[in-house]
Amino acid sequence: MGFINNKWMRAAVPALLIHCSIGTVYCWSTFKTAIAERIGMSPFAVGWAFSLAIFFLGMSAAFMGKMVEKDIHKSSLLSCICFTTGMIGTGLFIEFTTGVVALIGIFVCYGCIMGIGLGVGYLTPVKTLMLWFSENKGLATGISIMGFGLAKAIATPIMEAIQSGLGITWMFYILGGVYFIMMMLGHFLLKKPDGWVESDEDNDSFKPMSMFKNKVFLGIWLMFFINIHCGLALISYEKQILEIVFGAGAVAIAIVPSITAAANALGRIGYSTISDKMQQRNTVYKIIFTSCIAISAVALFSGAIMNGFGVLIMVTIVVALLLIVNLGYGGGFSTLPALLSERFGMKQISKIHGLALSAWAVAGITGNNMSELILSFSNKNYNLILIATTVLYAVALVVCLVMVGKKKVTNK
């Protein structure tokens, strides 16, 4: 059975099956307006379902790390059931209810139940990948987390086609069934290397809150949070920024998001793979924050988003901004598990990684809402969003240099 019992069939393939399913949470903008129109609620009100999904993703990862550490088959099954039940339940509430009842049902199904499936599923294959790819941990986690990023590019045209042909409710039913099959296959294939035994004593002795007293972990949490917060603040308004630059209805508005989605996925596999060749994986974050500060400053001083001084230059700078932010956003996710294993070892990595993902939960609430507030109080001045994110990226760079610093902890 060597053709099955290897690192590709027991780690990489099941990780991709799980992550390519749950990563479709980022397709939300594809059907948000259709849901709002169908149930008779505003897009803003419906949009909180996505924020809840990201919040429950981070929180479930943070609090279920012990279960994932102890039994990846129980966690992969729970992820499959929660994610697909939440998706199909969302379709049922859209089809059979309207108004506030439908909205609450969507919050519960898409936000809470599906969000739990997201968090547990995101965390489940990561340690297994790093165990099988012990010499290339960055590459391993990059493969999996790239699948999470690519899911949007793969699923968006499929979702649009099903919506156009059969309606939005059937989109949820059909894809819920497809993802159930994919995730169950991943569940059956996923397996840690022969001979690896988890220690119940280590698992039970872990004290989650003690990690937040650790300067290095707190620094990693803060820079991870800022990277996601700033990424969401810009990425969530990508379409509106492109409309300002290219004009409404331009073909580029349909093409550029696909390119930036590819950049997001490339950042996930690229940055994490590069980190395998570095003495300090933290160097990746220095590159991410420095590049984001530099391109944001160029965009600000050139007035590229608003009142640009030349169409070609303006377009080039804005597209470069979105590409670099997406690269860093994806790379921050994929490099995180390997950085944590470098600093804290492999024994508790699922629990420590889960705690770090709580930063994603908080950023899922704050990122796009910061932009919404800025635009509301400034008559839609997008430059103010850039100023805010540039300052925050600079703070993240300081945290990266001062709190995270250089590796001092050897693997346990």
Token pair 């894809």 is found at: 175
Which amino acid makes up residue 40?
Answer: G
Contact of 126 with 353, CB cutoff 8 Å = yes
Which amino acid makes up residue 125?
Answer: P
Helix (H) or strand (E) holding 245: helix 238-246
Residues of the chain with CATH 1.20.1250.20: 8-190, 206-407
Sign, Cα dihedral of 265, 71, 355, 399: negative
Token pair 């294959």 is found at: 125
pLDDT of residue 411: 41
What is d(CA 45, CA 368) in angstroms, rounded to the nearest whole number? 14
Instruction: Measure the CA angle with vertex 140, ends 278 and 334; round to 5°.
Output: 70
User: 201: Cβ–Cβ under 8 A, 6 or more apart, which residues?
Assistant: none
Instruction: Measure the CA angle with vertex 89, ends 87 and 93; round to 5°.
Output: 120
Which amino acid makes up residue 8?
Answer: W
The alpha carbon of residue 238 and the mean position of all alpha carbons in its chain are separated, in whole angstroms, by 16
Compute φ and ψ for 309, nearest 5 degrees: -95, 0
pLDDT of residue 203: 64
Compute φ and ψ for 134, nearest 5 degrees: -65, -25
Any idea which fold 206-407 has? Growth Hormone; Chain: A; (1.20.1250)
Nearest residue to 382 via CA among 170, 276, 239: 239
Tens digits of pLDDT across the chain (412 residues) = 567 889 999 999 999 999 999 999 988 878 988 999 999 999 889 989 998 999 999 999 999 988 998 899 999 999 999 999 999 999 999 999 999 999 999 999 999 999 999 999 999 999 999 999 988 999 988 988 888 888 888 898 899 899 999 999 999 999 999 999 999 999 999 999 988 877 666 666 778 888 999 999 999 999 999 999 999 999 888 878 888 887 766 777 778 877 888 899 999 999 999 999 998 999 999 999 999 999 999 999 888 777 666 778 888 899 999 999 999 999 999 999 999 999 999 888 999 999 999 999 999 999 988 998 999 899 889 999 999 999 999 999 999 999 998 775 444 4
Instruction: Give the per-residue SS3 of 302-344.
Output: HCCCCCCCCHHHHHHHHHHHHHHHHHHHHHHHHHHHHHHHHHH
What is d(CA 374, CA 114) in angstroms, rounded to the nearest whole number? 30
User: 363: Cβ–Cβ under 8 A, 6 or more apart, which residues?
Assistant: 54, 225, 228, 229, 232
User: 214: Cβ–Cβ under 8 A, 6 or more apart, which residues?
Assistant: none
- One DSSP character per residue, 71-98 reads -HHHHHHHHHHHHHHHHHHHHHHHHH--
**In Å, how far are 231, 334, 337 from 353, measured between CA atoms?**
20, 11, 6
What is d(CA 171, CA 91) in angstroms, rounded to the nearest whole number? 8
Residue count of the chain, please give it.
412
Any idea which fold 8-190 has? Growth Hormone; Chain: A; (1.20.1250)
Which amino acid makes up residue 266?
Answer: L
The pTM score is: 0.90
| Percentages (nearest 5) of helix, strand, coil residues in the chain | 85, 0, 15
CB atoms inside a 10 Å sphere around CB 355 = 24
**In Å, how far are 15, 116, 224, 276 from 123, measured between CA atoms?**
10, 11, 16, 20
Compute φ and ψ for 248, nearest 5 degrees: -60, 135
pLDDT of residue 200: 67
